[in-house]
Amino acid sequence: MLFHQLKFLLRFNARQNWLSSIIWALAIVGVTVVVAGAFVSLFGSEQERDTMAQTLENPAMVAMVGPVYGIDNYTTGAMMANQMLLFTAIVLGIMSILMITKLTRKQEEEGKFELIRSMPVGRLSSLSSALIVVALVNLIIGLITSIGLILINVESIDVEGSIMYGAVLAVTGLMFTGITAVITQLTETSRGAIGLSIAVLLLAYFVRAIGDVSSEALSLLSPLGLILRTEVYVENIWWPIIVSVVIALVFTVLAFYLHNRRDLGAGLLPSKPGKKEASKLLLSPLGLILRLQRTQIISWLVAMLFFGASYGSVLGDLESFFADNEMFQQLLGDNSEYTMTEQFMMMLMVILSIFATIPMVISFLRVRGEEKKERNDHLLTTGISRYKLLSYYLGVSVVIGAVSLFIALYGLWAAGAAVMDDPIPLENILKAGMSYVPAMLIVLALANLLFAFLPKWTSLVWAYLVFSFFTVYLGGMIDIPEWLANISSFNHIPQIPVEAFTWTPLVVLLVIGLVALIASQFGYRNRDEIG
């Protein structure tokens, strides 16, 4: 009777999960199909694709996206599998990790499992219903992706390859479903389970990265290395899929075995006792705010370095690549005075600064999150003024934004210097990049204003950032009216080296930002805390 009432729980879990499943599915399938379509139009000629293939053969790129297959006949399909498959598979992995933890550990933590377990249901029913639901979501996403790719109707994106493409996505999801199911038996909290599972995913990624560059055997040890050996759209090799299914099954069985052996609420890993007393660092409001964001800050800084370096690693091959690609030429605009690389750099600066704004805003928005959970009350009722509280969050986020941008620029320079014959001096890169800090501050100031005057709408700031990104990214291709583009603060920064550097716009942005920040202090001081 271990599986009693499984059917009922399945419906129950599916109901809890349907909305997020649809969002994940739409995002994954949508991006895949749109990118495949874009590749067809961006890299129409064989010559363009060959240049791209050469760029991707660079070891830095192989470490990042996996090995290039089918180099002698680099079709659109081969390109699609080369550039998109690994990352899409990782997204399914992350989705499975989050869903399994949400449906198992999280429920257990909140005592919902206990409630269900007290009813006449089998001991393994809860776990199996969660596994089945997540497995189905993975399979369905794989299936729709395959159908979507077939429907694009491109010669090199053939039926067998497309089915395989979807299958690779699905089995990656299944493997991480199984792995996470095991990990949720080990840890005591859902946070712990997510952390450990993501760590396994990252480890798999890095083992594959090293393996793809140096040793095939090492790559095969990683689930993510294994799935790339399918050579989708080139050779369509099926055995890695079968091995992946077996791996997923082994982990699933192991999860059931462990689940049956442990007590409800317990984890098999001994949870190590935490600190009995707070360290000195924690004993101030600022220390507390920093400590609460520690993991997040470190992850973002690593991500920014990685991000900058990944752009830097392609700088070496750019000239030849751009020379052949009309689409990119159009994207960058025509300016014969400057090299393509210089113009590309200019666009990179904007993109990197917009990305560096993300951790800055996330860090600041925590103040709203804490307010919603009524945890600001703890600080505000111990003699800390609202003025100070807001200033701490503001200060922390400004520093995070500036450091993120700096690290991304440093990564760009370091990787660029390694692959370019004539590297760009670090000083030039920093000068061009750091001049975007005032534009970033405007975004932060907007977040502040919303927080102070329309706290329930604070997250609207993301809309502004996304808007800024599109005006910059697509501005070259679509004709966006000047007044509309000017709403984005990033549009006002002098674009070195193509434009001359001038202080005026920077100072104007800084002054606007400062006024907004002062107004926000006033607004926050005079409003209620809204939980």
Partner 1 sequence: MNMIEVKGVTKKFGKFTALNGIDLEVKKGEVYGFIGPNGAGKSTTIRVLLGIIQATSGTAKIFGMDAWKDAVEIHRKVVYVPGDVHLWENLTGGEIIDTFLKLRGGINKTKRDALIERFQLDPRKKAGTYSKGNRQKVALIAAFASEADLFILDEPTSGLDPLMENIFQQCVEEVKYEGKSVLLSSHILSEVEKLCDRVGIIRQGEMIETGTLDELRHLTRTNIVIETEKSAATLSEQSGIHQFTEEDGVYSFQVDPENLSSVMLKVGELGVKRIESTPPTLEDLFMRHYETDSVAEKG
Q: Which residue type occupies 45?
A: S
| Cα 101 to Cα 107: distance, rounded to the nearest angstrom | 8
Q: Is 375 a binder of partner 1 (CB under 8 A)?
A: yes
Q: Is 330 a binder of partner 1 (CB under 8 A)?
A: no
Say if CB 244 and CB 222 are below 8 A apart: no
Q: Which of 385, 459, 486, 502 binds partner 1 (CB under 8 A)?
A: 385
Minimum gap (Å) between residue 526 Cβ and partner 1: 8
Q: Is 118 a binder of partner 1 (CB under 8 A)?
A: no
**Total of chain residues touching partner 1, rule CB under 8 A:** 35
Minimum gap (Å) between residue 399 Cβ and partner 1: 21
Q: Could you identify the residue written with the tokens 């089918």?
A: 70
Say if CB 480 and CB 471 are below 8 A apart: yes
Q: Which residue type occupies 444?
A: L
- The residue (of 384 and 426) whose beta carbon lies closer to partner 1 is 384
Q: Which stretch binds partner 1 (CB under 8 A): 5-13, 319-327, 349-357, 523-531?
A: 523-531
Q: Is 383 a binder of partner 1 (CB under 8 A)?
A: yes
Secondary structure string (H, E, C) spanning 330-397: HHHCCCCCCCHHHHHHHHHHHHHHHHHHHHHHHHHHHHHHHHHCCCHHHHHCCCCCHHHHHHHHHHHH
Binding residues for partner 1 restricted to 183-202, rule: CB under 8 A = 188-189, 191
Minimum gap (Å) between residue 282 Cβ and partner 1: 6
Q: Which of 46, 57, 374, 499 binds partner 1 (CB under 8 A)?
A: 374
List the one residue out of 346, 477, 352 whose CA is nearest residue 405: 352
| Cα 297 to Cα 299: distance, rounded to the nearest angstrom | 6
| Cα 290 to Cα 285: distance, rounded to the nearest angstrom | 9
- State the angle between helix axes of 125-152 and 159-186 in degrees (0 to 180), rounded to the nearest 10: 160
Q: Give the DSSP letter of residue 82.
A: I
User: Token pair for residue 490?
Assistant: 């990033």
Q: Is 296 a binder of partner 1 (CB under 8 A)?
A: no
Site pattern 143..182 for partner 1 (x: CB under 8 A):
----------------------------------------
- The residue (of 342 and 370) whose beta carbon lies closer to partner 1 is 370
- The residue (of 267 and 513) whose beta carbon lies closer to partner 1 is 267
Q: Which of 214, 215, 260, 284 binds partner 1 (CB under 8 A)?
A: 284
Q: Which of 12, 25, 71, 109 binds partner 1 (CB under 8 A)?
A: 109
Binding residues for partner 1 restricted to 254-283, rule: CB under 8 A = 271, 273-279, 282-283
User: Token pair for residue 163?
Assistant: 């089915």
Residues that bind partner 1 (CB under 8 A): 109, 188-189, 191, 271, 273-279, 282-285, 288, 291-292, 373-375, 377-385, 526-529
